[in-house]
Amino acid sequence: MRDIVHDFARFAATTTFADLPEAAVESAKKSLLDTLGVMLGASGMEPAVRPVIDLMTETGGRAEATVIGFGTRLPAAAAAFANGTLAHGLDYDSQTPWGAHPDSSLIPALLALAERMGDVSGERLIAAIAIGQELFIRLRCNVRWNMDWNLSSAVGVYSGTAACGALLGLDAEQIAHAMGIVSLHAGGTMQQIFGTGSDLRGLYAGFIAQSCVTAALLAQKGMLGMEQLFEGEAGIFKVYFGGEYDRQKMLHGLGNTFLCQGMTYKYWPAVGNAHTYIHAAIELMREHPISVADIAAVRVYVGSFAERMVQPAAARKTPATMMDAKFSLPFTVAIALSAGRMSITDFAPEALKNPDILALADKIEGIADPAFNWNLKLPAGKVEVETTDGRIFSRLGDAVPGTPERPMTWDELGHKFAGCAAVAATPLAPARIAKTQGFVRVLQDTKDATLILELLA
SS3 for 17-56 is HHHCCHHHHHHHHHHHHHHHHHHHHHHHHCHHHHHHHHHH
pLDDT category at 239 given cuts 50, 70, 90 is very high
Across 122-131, 173-182, 184-193, least confident range:
184-193
Tell me the angle at which helices 22-45 and 122-140 cross, rounded to the nearest 10 degrees.
Answer: 90
Mean pLDDT computed over 375-385: 88
Mean pLDDT over the full length of the chain: 95
Q: What is the predicted pLDDT for the residue at 276?
A: 95
* pLDDT single digits (tens) 187-211: 999 888 787 877 777 899 999 999 9
244-249 long-range contacts, CB within 8 A, separation 24+: 244/143, 244/144, 245/142, 245/143, 245/144, 246/142, 247/4, 247/142, 249/138, 249/141, 249/142
Task: Say how many C-beta atoms besides its own lie within 10 A of residue 402's C-beta.
Answer: 23
Q: What is the predicted pLDDT for the residue at 120?
A: 98
Q: What is the predicted pLDDT for the residue at 192?
A: 80
Evaluate the CA torsion angle 215, 216, 219, 225 in order and state its sign.
positive
Q: Domain map of the chain by residue range?
A: 5-266+414-455, 272-396
* pLDDT single digits (tens) 333-349: 999 999 999 999 999 88
SS3 65: strand
% the chain with pLDDT above 70 = 100
Q: Which CATH number fits domain 5-266+414-455: 1.10.4100.10, 3.30.365.10, 2.60.34.10, 1.10.260.40?
A: 1.10.4100.10
Mean pLDDT computed over 46-51: 91
**Which residue would you say has higher pLDDT here, 79 or 377?**
79
| Rounded Cα distance, 158 and 5, in Å | 9
Mean pLDDT computed over 243-268: 97
Evaluate the CA torsion angle 282, 287, 290, 296 in order and state its sign.
negative
| Rounded Cα distance, 284 and 279, in Å | 8
pLDDT category at 378 given cuts 50, 70, 90 is confident
- Does the bond joining 312 to the residue before it have cis omega, within 30 degrees of 0? yes
Terminal C-alpha separation, the chain: 50
Q: What is the predicted pLDDT for the residue at 90?
A: 93
Mean pLDDT computed over 428-433: 96
Mean pLDDT computed over 426-446: 97
* pLDDT single digits (tens) 215-234: 999 999 999 999 899 999 99
Q: What is the predicted pLDDT for the residue at 135?
A: 98
* pLDDT single digits (tens) 282-295: 999 999 989 999 99
Domains 5-266+414-455 and 272-396 share a fold: no
Q: What is the predicted pLDDT for the residue at 299?
A: 98
pLDDT category at 96 given cuts 50, 70, 90 is very high
Q: What is the predicted pLDDT for the residue at 377?
A: 78
| Rounded Cα distance, 345 and 86, in Å | 16
Residue 280 has pLDDT above 90, yes or no: yes
| Rounded Cα distance, 11 and 7, in Å | 6
Whether 92 and 105 have beta carbons less than 8 Å apart is answered as no
Which residue type is seen at 305?
F
Q: What is the H or E stretch that residue 289 is in?
A: none
| Rounded Cα distance, 69 and 360, in Å | 35
pLDDT category at 1 given cuts 50, 70, 90 is confident
* pLDDT single digits (tens) 358-374: 999 999 999 999 999 98
pLDDT category at 12 given cuts 50, 70, 90 is very high
Q: Which CATH class is domain 272-396?
A: alpha beta
